[in-house]
Amino acid sequence: MDIGLILGVSVPIVVVVALLIALRSRADGSFERIVRCRSGHLFTTTLIPGSSLKSVRLGNVRYQRCPVGRHWTLVRRVDVSTLTADEIAAARSVHDVRIP
Ligand SMILES: [Zn+2]
């Protein structure tokens, strides 16, 4: 089969699936997770098990862009029960790009 045809079919499918996931996560928030970067910034990101287009996964941490400090850094999921209401509100007010 022609490689151009394979790419012409598969790339749009990946893009559409990513957009559908992004829209779905926006609708119900099921994949929204609060994370903290190495500089201590809190923000919300979309984490989907086995799916990551905007970051490099390194076990429990991910290398991705921090929208608070506007830098590339390692981020780690935060246990929401350890945060204050103000910290949660601040983290929820900042979301990175809505691509998993
Ligand atoms: Zn940061």
pLDDT tens sequence for the chain (100 residues) = 677 777 787 777 776 666 665 555 555 567 889 999 999 999 999 877 666 667 777 777 899 999 999 999 999 999 999 999 999 999 999 998 766 6
Domain ranges of the chain: 3-93
Predicted local distance difference test score (pLDDT) of residue 17: 64
Ligand 1 midpoint to CA 36 (Å): 7
**Cα(32) to centroid(ligand 1), Å:** 17
pLDDT for the residue 50: 65
Eight-state DSSP code of residue 80: G
Taking the centre of ligand 1 as the mean of its atom positions, its distance from the CA of residue 43, in whole angstroms, is: 9
Output the pLDDT for position 49. Answer: 67
Q: How far apart are CA 11 and CA 28, in angstroms?
A: 26
Residue 9, pLDDT score: 76
Query: b or e along 66-90 (b: 16 or more beta carbons within 10 Å of the residue's beta carbon)?
Result: bbbeeeebbbeebeeeebeeeebeb
